[in-house]
Amino acid sequence: MTQKPIRGVVAAIATPVDAAGTPDTGRAVKLARFLLDNGCDGLNVLGTTGEATSFSREERMAVMTAYRDASLPMERLMVGTGTAAISDTIALTRHAAQLGFGGALVLPPFYYKGVPDDGLVGYVDELIAATTQPAIPLYLYHFPAQSGLPWHPALVRRLLDKHAGRIVGLKDSSGDMAYARAIAALSPDFAVFPSTEACLIEARGGAFAGCISATANLNPDLCARAWRDGDQTALADAVTIRKLFDGKLLVSGVKALLAHIHADPALARTKTPLPAFPAADRAAVVAGYDAVRAKKVA
């Protein structure tokens, strides 16, 4: 593997869909270019914000291929390839490697709960054995509130000892910063990305590799100023925008605000089963976002 490590501000990019619920690859590529041109160091494609588990394997592959065909900087993109079925995870991870993605982000096989560590190690063993030509860096995706299966520290340590060089990092969507710090302490070379931009100053000091955030879709410029310059005011504004979604539907909300920012109502569409963002919530979020941006201009 020769890919340069992914670091910094990584947006968990939303996946636009058309009226039929099919991925809208044209809008997806346009949004990706905007984010990369306006502060993002990288993108996490087809994660939770990207509604990956709501798409078929073929749809996910089509989105992945569209990014490559658009000549985006693939080494700056990691892509979610984890599924409940090992054969699908292998197929998606192989496709990611062939397209030149900078990494594959792997959920645990999330349907069966209470799977013992030996089962999860076996899953990773099988994935790694089947994806060696070409190999692709693997990032573990820790989101126990959704998956029901944690990549807990002892398990991560076991995987690192067994697969040094292939497993290179972890995205932590648990919201537990003590967990994130414990995982980062396992190895100085292990790239840990909390899921909030609130960590960026701490990350800049070396604690983490950066952040992978849903709301970086909405504030990439502010996140970039925090990460690159240590700008505390920019970080505070970015966190204010993130907090607009407290207690609200995050994925639907991010898409609704993207539609406002880019003056494109189609960006608000979600894939079944996620509902549209409620109108009252949209009004509140748009007003809050515009207030932050007006303050910045002033």
Mean pLDDT of 260-288: 98
pLDDT band with cut points at 50, 70 and 90 for residue 5: confident
Element (H, E) at 232: helix 232-243
Confidence check: pLDDT of 3 > 70: no
In a 10 Å sphere around its CB, with 0-12 CB exposed, 13-18 middle and 19+ buried, how is residue 54 labelled? middle
Confidence check: pLDDT of 297 > 90: no
Question: Cα dist. 252→116, 223, 275 in Å?
Answer: 34, 21, 7
Peptide bond into 273 cis (omega under 30): yes
pLDDT band with cut points at 50, 70 and 90 for residue 164: confident
% residues pLDDT > 90 (the chain): 97
Please tell me which residue in 123, 139, 141, 289 is annotated as part of the active site. Answer: 141
Please tell me which residue in 123, 139, 171, 271 is annotated as part of the active site. Answer: 171
DSSP three-state, residue 175: coil
Residue 193, both tokens = 């990305």
More confident residue, 3 or 101: 101
The sheet that has 8-12: what strands, in order across it?
A: 191-194, 167-172, 138-142, 103-106, 77-80, 42-45, 8-12, 210-213
Based on the residue annotation, tell me whether 296 is a catalytic residue of this protein.
no
Over the stretch 111-137, which tens digit does the pLDDT of each residue have?
A: 999 999 999 999 999 999 999 999 999
Mean pLDDT of 166-183: 97
Residue given tokens 């992914």 in the structure block: 6
Confidence check: pLDDT of 296 > 70: no
Note the pLDDT of residue 295.
Answer: 80
Confidence check: pLDDT of 258 > 80: yes
Confidence check: pLDDT of 144 > 80: yes
Over the stretch 182-211, which tens digit does the pLDDT of each residue have?
A: 999 999 999 999 999 999 999 999 999 999
Mean pLDDT of 152-163: 97
Domain covering 8-230, topology: TIM Barrel (3.20.20)
Based on the residue annotation, tell me whether 141 is a catalytic residue of this protein.
yes
Note the pLDDT of residue 2.
Answer: 54
